[in-house]
């Protein structure tokens, strides 16, 4: 039985000032008042993006996923700061070149220190942890830092947003307190649209701000808030949650340890991670799925197809793994539209993704597919920065069409889309009236047009004739 954890996507801020103030739900103006996360979490003054928990020991707000974070509004002036702590650092140690946990800060919608995040020479092979002066980063486990969000603000109402750029596999963090001179207002309202993004390193934004080079296991080259998932949510004015990790596969047991029996803790599949509240920090606590997403965008399959040829996985069927993932997502989210995107780094999984979606019911079952252009200009051959906006615009538009009920039917496997070649033979028949040639593919249709009817398209003219009969036996998609 699933444990139930209270999840309020519009969790709020509260102040530890006096009993009267807490009961009234108002924060009196004071000189640089500090509000702990425990206080903030009790009065509905903060909004949280992504899955989270509250620490039982100190009341900190615990988060770990890409693009997770907090939003709040304050009537304030002067300086505003937030205190964060790294609660887990899987790869970084004392500011080593493995990076750290990076954050994006927006004040009144404007990113702070935005240009300082990426140095002029952004090739991952030339970029070191000392080549950027970006201020919003935690670089060691249990490190506590107070980040200045704004200085010298004019009196008035201001909105603050803090989001994690790094992925859960490499670290987790806690929001400990907010300090400002003024009054914390009601939290930003929940948006009508809630999107969940489930994927691998591409969805997590791995290597997206590097200009080529090798970015493996290094948070320095990743910014989820410049990635397509976050940008899609922002485009649509949606709330969001990102569950995405480098190296993760949809098929249970497939992992980069190349060992189906490897530790689930170290080498999970999406079926291990998705049901948990914060898998990499706590494998024992289930997520409650209290707020149901309207749309789930899935970006999985790259690791499955790259690993399937390994000897350890020769008997694995990744199409069935994709179907299992769809079944799991549907079990937890009965009413969500599920869109599987593909093609960003490889075409090797395309046919099986499309087949899995079709076999699980396709559009009639609320399942959709969307192909995106391949791009490998970022770190370690991942999609680069230039294509992230393009992906976001395409996905945003498709989500709108799905919600409006105007999307096309699910795509057919790419093997049924013409690749420009001619078939060596037909699907059957001898070309007579009683036994016509059978055409089931685009390649066979091309053979009829360019090899039988219009023999100028081929040097082989032995079959050139108009006295033949043909029968179309399947729908054909030329493009």
In contact, 197 and 244? CB cutoff 8 Å: yes
Query: 326 to each of 51, 189, 246, 425, how far by Cα in Å?
Result: 21, 31, 20, 37
Inform me whether the pLDDT recorded for 96 exceeds 80.
no
CA distance 108 to 112: 10
The pLDDT assigned to 158 comes to 98
Lowest-pLDDT choice from 9-23, 51-65, 79-93, 269-283: 9-23
CA distance 209 to 116: 12
Query: Over pLDDT 70: what percentage of the chain?
Result: 83
pLDDT: which is higher, 258 or 130: 258
CA distance 433 to 430: 9
Q: Which of 3, 161, 4 is nearest to 70 (CA)?
A: 161
Q: Which of 37, 39, 36, 17 is nearest to 27 (CA)?
A: 17
pLDDT: which is higher, 12 or 194: 194
3 state DSSP class of 354 = helix
Provide the 8-state DSSP code for 410: P
In contact, 186 and 144? CB cutoff 8 Å: no
Inform me whether the pLDDT recorded for 73 exceeds 60.
yes
Query: 24 to each of 35, 43, 236, 395, how far by Cα in Å?
Result: 16, 10, 35, 43
Query: 251 to each of 3, 311, 352, 425, how far by Cα in Å?
Result: 25, 15, 12, 36
For the stretch 87-126, what's the b/e string if a residue is b when 16 or more beta carbons lie within 10 angstroms of its beta carbon?
bbbbebeeeeebbbbbbbbbbeeeebeeeebbbeebebee
pLDDT tens across 211-242, in order? 888 877 788 889 999 999 999 999 999 999 99
Q: Tell me the average pLDDT across 82-98.
A: 70
CA distance 322 to 317: 9
pLDDT: which is higher, 428 or 200: 200
> Would you place residue 452 in the very low, low, confident or very high pLDDT band (cuts 50, 70, 90)?
low
The pLDDT assigned to 32 comes to 65
> Would you place residue 33 in the very low, low, confident or very high pLDDT band (cuts 50, 70, 90)?
confident
> Would you place residue 460 in the very low, low, confident or very high pLDDT band (cuts 50, 70, 90)?
very low
Helices (H), 128-261: 201-204, 228-236
Alpha carbon 287 to its chain's center: 18
> Would you place residue 464 in the very low, low, confident or very high pLDDT band (cuts 50, 70, 90)?
low
């Amino acid at each position: 039985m699933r444990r139930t954890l209270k999840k309020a996507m519009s969790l709020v801020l509260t102040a530890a000032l006096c009993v009267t103030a807490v009961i009234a739900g108002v924060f009196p103006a004071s000189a640089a008042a500090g509000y702990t996360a425990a206080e903030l979490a009790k009065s509905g003054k903060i909004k949280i993006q992504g899955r989270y928990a509250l620490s039982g020991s100190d009341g900190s707000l615990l988060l770990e996923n890409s693009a997770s974070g907090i939003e709040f509004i304050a009537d304030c002036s002067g300086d505003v700061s937030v205190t964060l702590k790294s609660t887990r650092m899987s790869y970084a140690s004392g500011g080593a070149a493995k990076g750290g946990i990076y954050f994006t800060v927006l004040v009144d919608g404007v990113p702070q220190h935005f240009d300082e995040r990426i140095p002029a020479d952004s090739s991952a092979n030339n970029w070191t942890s000392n080549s950027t002066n970006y201020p919003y980063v935690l670089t060691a486990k249990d490190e506590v830092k107070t980040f200045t969000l704004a200085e010298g603000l004019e009196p008035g109402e201001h909105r603050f947003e803090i989001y994690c750029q790094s992925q859960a596999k490499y670290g987790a963090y806690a929001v400990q307190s907010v300090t400002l001179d003024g009054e914390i207002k009601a939290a930003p309202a929940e948006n009508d649209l809630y999107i969940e993004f489930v994927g691998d390193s591409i969805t997590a934004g791995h290597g997206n701000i590097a200009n080529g080079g090798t970015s493996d296991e290094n948070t320095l080259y990743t910014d989820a808030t410049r990635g397509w998932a976050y940008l899609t949510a922002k485009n649509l004015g949606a709330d969001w949650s990102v569950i995405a990790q480098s190296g993760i596969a949809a098929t249970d047991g497939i992992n980069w340890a190349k060992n189906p029996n490897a530790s689930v803790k170290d080498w999970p599949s999406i079926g291990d991670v998705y049901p948990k509240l914060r898998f990499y920090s706590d494998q024992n606590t289930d997520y409650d799925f209290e707020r149901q997403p309207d749309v789930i965008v899935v970006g999985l399959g790259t690791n499955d197809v790259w690993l399937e040829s390994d000897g350890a996985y020769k008997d694995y069927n990744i199409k069935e793994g994709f179907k299992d993932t769809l079944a799991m997502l549907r079990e937890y989210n009965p009413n969500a539209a599920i869109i599987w995107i593909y093609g960003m780094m490889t075409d090797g999984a395309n046919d099986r993704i499309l087949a899995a979606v079709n076999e699980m019911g396709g559009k009639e079952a609320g399942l959709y597919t969307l192909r995106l252009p391949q791009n490998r200009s970022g770190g370690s051959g991942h999609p680069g920065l230039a294509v992230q906006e393009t992906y976001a615009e395409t996905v945003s538009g498709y989500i709108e069409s799905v919600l409006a009920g105007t999307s096309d039917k699910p795509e057919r496997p790419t093997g049924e889309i013409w690749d420009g070649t001619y078939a060596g033979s037909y699907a059957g028949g001898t070309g007579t009236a009683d036994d016509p040639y059978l055409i089931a593919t685009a390649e066979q249709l091309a053979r009829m047009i360019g090899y039988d009817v219009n023999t100028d398209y081929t040097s082989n003219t032995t079959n050139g004739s108009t006295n033949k009969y043909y029968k179309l036996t399947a729908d054909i998609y030329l493009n």
